[in-house]
Amino acid sequence: MEAEVEHGGESYLVHYTKEEFEKKYTAVHCYMNQTGASKMDTFAELRKQVANAWKDMNQECLHPTVPVSMLILKPVVDLARVIHLLYSDNDDYTNSQTNTRDYINSVLVEPVPI
C-alpha cells in the first residue's frame, strides 16, 4: 500500500504493508497506545463513544440547539448511518464481498414496500 504524505511543503510517498496499516492505524490500537487500556476495555470505551455520538445526533435532530435546516442535517445524519452500517462490526467497505452486497441488494433491489 502507498500513501502520499506532505510535510514542510514537501511531498513523500510512504510504502507500508496491509498488516502494518491494520495493526498501527486502527482506532482500537490508537486508543490502546494513548491510554494503555486493554483491548476489551478499548472496545467497550469505543462502543460507548459511538453510542453517545448517536444520542447527541438524535437529540440534535429532535431538539436543535442551533437553527439548522433539516435539508442540510438529514444528508449528514444519513452519511453517518451508512458509515456506521459499513464499519460497525467489520470493515465491510474494504471487504465489500461480505455484507455490503446484501445491504445494497436489500435497499435498492428488494426494498421493503411502504
pTM above 0.75, yes or no: no
Beta-carbon contacts of residue 54 (< 8 Å; ≥ 6 apart): 84
Look at residues 104, 62, 61 and name the one whose alpha carbon lies nearest to residue 82: 104
59 against 104, higher pLDDT? 59
Burial classification of residue 42, based on how many CB atoms lie within 10 Å of its CB (0-12 exposed, 13-18 middle, 19 or more buried): buried
Residue 18: partners with Cβ closer than 8 Å, 6 or more residues away: 1
Q: Provide mean pLDDT across the span 105-110.
A: 78
User: Would you state the cell numbers that stand for residue 85, as one nine-digit string?
Assistant: 452500517
pLDDT at 8: 61
Strand, helix or coil for residue 68: coil
Position 6 confidence tier, pLDDT thresholds 50, 70, 90: low
pLDDT of the residue at 52:
95
Cα(88)–Cα(73) distance, integer angstroms: 22
Which has more confidence, 53 or 25? 53
**CB neighbours of 35 closer than 8 A, spacing ≥ 6?**
42
Residues in a beta bridge with 15: 2
